[in-house]
Structure 1
Amino acid sequence: MSAIPLTARGAERLQAELQRLKTVERPDVINAIAEARAQGDLSENAEYDAARERQGFIEGRIKELEGTLSNAQIIDPAELDADGQVVFGATVEIEDLGSGERLVYQIVGDMEADIRANRISVSSPVARALIGKSAGDVVEVRAPAGLREYEIRAVSYA
């Protein structure tokens, strides 16, 4: 399996989620299954079915997180010296040349992307267009809404 890029902060968040799943969520669902079993007939026990479904989700997520973290290539943006270029982990301020709207995004790995927190995946169209560019460059992004042009205003590695 190939290396999975993660920022140091993203790896910490995934590790915290894994720890919570193992120490809180897993024991809770095991207790819920035991309580549902104690109620008798399992064939018509909705609580049992729900607890088993939840257990399957938790175990799947634990396996996914362990696989991701074991193959992670952790990149700390603060330690980068990319000479002003947009690279993985960089925080980029861009301006939409059509609307004048300014946006700030951090380019992160697929597992840690969260648009509500302004973290976009390195494999997203916007991030792919920005990688390798510097402040002052104009990039074109083909989005579902059509062709968009952005000017890179600032690049930081915090």
Structure 2
Amino acid sequence: MLNRSIFVNLYLQARGIAITERNIRAEWKRAGIWPLNKQKLLENPEVVNFGRTTPEYQPAPVKEGPNRLLGTPKKPEEYQELGAKIKAKVTPRTRRAVRKLVHAALQERTGTQALRTELQGYRKEALDDEVIKRSKRLQKDAVQTLVGPRTGQGGSRGQKTF
């Protein structure tokens, strides 16, 4: 029986024997690229007709129609719709797995929404605390400006200076 480790050992032995500098140069000569002939390489039809390998830009899938199911579902209805499409084409055993996945995704979404709401509450609370601290500081500064500095510069009788 030929398993992976035996194959790798046999491959390494064959590679050491077959892939030598002499054999590589012989194949290059047979292909006509040894001694190195740059002009022949540049005249090769594959090089001459080399086209663009990067695919053209494809806009994002439309939210309506069949492409809508290719995106990441955001709403519970989208999860249900995607699950129904998959369930229609699979075996009963796979349907159960799909149902579990849809249920888990909905639970995850619900948990995420709960955490998001909790985080918004904490942020609002922190903002309110900051506003209160700021308003107390502004009130304190306003009182100090009204009273004036306490270094004796406020007048001889302790009168307020404005």
TM-score w.r.t. length of structure 1 = 0.26
Select the structure that is richer in strand: 1
Q: Which has the higher helix share?
A: 2
